[in-house]
Amino acid sequence: EAQVTQNPRYLITVTGKKLTVTCSQNMNHEYMSWYRQDPGLGLRQIYYSMNVEVTDKGDVPEGYKVSRKEKRNFPLILESPSPNQTSLYFCASTPGQGRGENEKLFFGSGTQLSVL
Amino acid sequence: QKEVEQDPGPLSVPEGAIVSLNCTYSNSAFQYFMWYRQYSRKGPELLMYTYSSGNKEDGRFTAQVDKSSKYISLFIRDSQPSDSATYLCAMTKTSYDKVIFGPGTSLSVIP
């Protein structure tokens, strides 16, 4: 089954404790991105990657890191989480920037993060 | 002013009603318009997408774009309880650009 898999689904942590949220897709998509979803603000892009070893900042990158060492995986790293990073996070992929299908995003099921 | 605005609702309708969901936007460069549906505790899924102005129909769903007014709509006919979800409008300038999302409208269809 074609899908984007995120883990964990729920995470409660404390301020300053490094964490990683994993994301994997099995569709051989080139383009992957991370979003956070907050009430009233909608989905905001954190980082995106157009291909292996190619990443760039989205609208709200502060406090986050990403890496793209393999095509299928795109982990989101919070080196020192703070309470304002409490949010619902989504990983998404699309067939590829080059194929012009950026609008057809496939989303994972989300990670609800609480930073105390 | 936000780039994409959407009435957050919640919107509650009886089963069988016609539902109209709307978004306005400020950037006239947007060309691709999408509607994503998001069920509770799930990621958004692409429901409809249209290019430029006009209508597109898919079963009970019709997407309408009026670029002159910078206004897009999603109509749901014969609404069902399974349509209860949050509906996000989204748009982009080209198929290679970042997608901008509205904040979403929460819809409940009551049996």
Segment A1-39, tens digit of pLDDT: 889 999 999 999 999 999 999 999 999 988 899 999 998
B-interface mutation test, from A46, A60, A90, A105, most B Cβ less than 10 A away: A105
Cα distance between residue A41 and residue B99, in whole Å:
14
Contacts of B99 in chain A (CB under 8 A): 102-103, 105
Smallest CA–CA distance, residue A80 to chain B, in Å, is 26
CB half-sphere exposure, A108, CA atoms < 13 A: 30
Smallest CA–CA distance, residue B46 to chain A, in Å, is 7
If pLDDT is split at 50, 70 and 90, which confidence band does A44 have?
Answer: very high
Nearest CB neighbour to B101, from listed A42, A102, A110: A42
Question: What ranges in chain B are assigned the alpha helix state H?
Answer: none
Cα distance between residue B31 and residue B91, in whole Å:
7
| B29 interfacial to chain A (CB closer than 8 Å) | no
A54-58, B51-55, B60-64 — which one is most confidently predicted on average?
A: B60-64
Q: Quick check: A90 and B44 CB within 8 A? A: yes
